[in-house]
């Protein structure tokens, strides 16, 4: 049985490897990631994971794994930090506040069975000074990331509270992912 990772995220690949398995293929799923009108963050994260899994071709002996991580403030879906200006705005919104990191996971088994899970992790940032925000933006690690930060890097020093899946904030909740892969028949410990 072969695993197909429907993601080109280096973080997701690293996280899958932490489960003691290596994908036979890594495929970039081509989907429209724009939120739908009035779509709630939980629904959005799970929908994207499902769409990504269905967007890649699967042979009869393959298991497809896809995920999506969304950062939300209340009912608002925060965009990825595609520019330094967006990142500054996002970090300003997260400063001193709690937010949700929602990680949707979808696994399609060889028999076509679709299984999903959603990990909801609450993260609280300390109040950030302008110097801290500028210094973090200058290091470059949060650019392109959901919410504008990478918890596995320097931004971890901003986290005063986390409740949930640390790996989910990074991009793939390992507890949930392991359970789904095992249910699909992948022999992992």
Residues spanned by the domain of 93: 2-183
Q: Do residues 162 and 123 lie in contact, with contact meaning Cβ atoms separated by under 8 Å? A: yes
Residues 107-152 pLDDT 10s? 999 999 999 999 999 999 999 999 999 999 999 999 999 899 999 9
**39, part of any domain:** yes
- Nearest 5°: phi and psi at 40? -80, 150
**40, part of any domain:** yes
**52, part of any domain:** yes
pLDDT of residue 189: 74
Quote the number of domains for the chain: 1
- Nearest 5°: phi and psi at 67? -150, 165
Cα 138 to the center of its chain, rounded Å: 23
**100, part of any domain:** yes
pLDDT of residue 1: 86
Percent of the chain with pLDDT over 70: 100
**25, part of any domain:** yes
Confidence (pTM) = 0.93
Active site residues: 68
Helix (H, G, I), strand (E, B) or coil at 103: strand
The number of residues making up the chain comes to 189
**160, part of any domain:** yes
Confidence tier at 39 by pLDDT (50, 70, 90): very high
pLDDT of residue 102: 98
pLDDT of residue 92: 96
pLDDT of residue 123: 98
pLDDT of residue 188: 86
Please give the average per-residue pLDDT across 35-56, as a whole number: 97
Please give the average per-residue pLDDT across 7-16, as a whole number: 93
Work out whether the CA dihedral 146, 51, 122, 35 comes out positive or negative. positive
Count helices and strands (H / E) in the chain.
Answer: 6, 7
In this structure, what CATH number is given to the domain that contains residue 6?
3.90.950.10
């Amino acid at each position: 049985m072969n695993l197909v990772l429907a993601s080109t995220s280096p973080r997701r690949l690293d996280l899958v490897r932490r489960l003691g398995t290596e994908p036979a293929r890594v495929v970039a799923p081509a989907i429209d990631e724009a939120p739908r009108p009035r779509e709630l963050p939980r629904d959005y994260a799970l929908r994207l994971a499902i769409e990504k899994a269905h967007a890649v071709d699967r042979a009869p002996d393959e298991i497809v794994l896809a995920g999506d991580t969304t950062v939300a403030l209340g009912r608002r879906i925060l965009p990825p930090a595609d520019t330094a200006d967006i990142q500054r705005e996002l970090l300003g919104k997260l400063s001193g506040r709690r937010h949700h990191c929602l990680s949707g996971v979808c696994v399609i088994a060889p028999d076509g069975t679709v299984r999903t899970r959603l990990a909801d992790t609450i993260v609280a940032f300390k109040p950030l000074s302008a110097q801290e925000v500028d210094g973090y933006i200058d290091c470059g690690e949060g650019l392109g990331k959901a919410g504008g930060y990478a918890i596995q890097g320097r931004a971890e020093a901003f986290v005063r509270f986390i409740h949930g899946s640390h790996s989910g904030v990074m991009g793939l909740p390992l507890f949930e992912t392991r359970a789904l892969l095992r249910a699909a028949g992948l022999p992992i410990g």
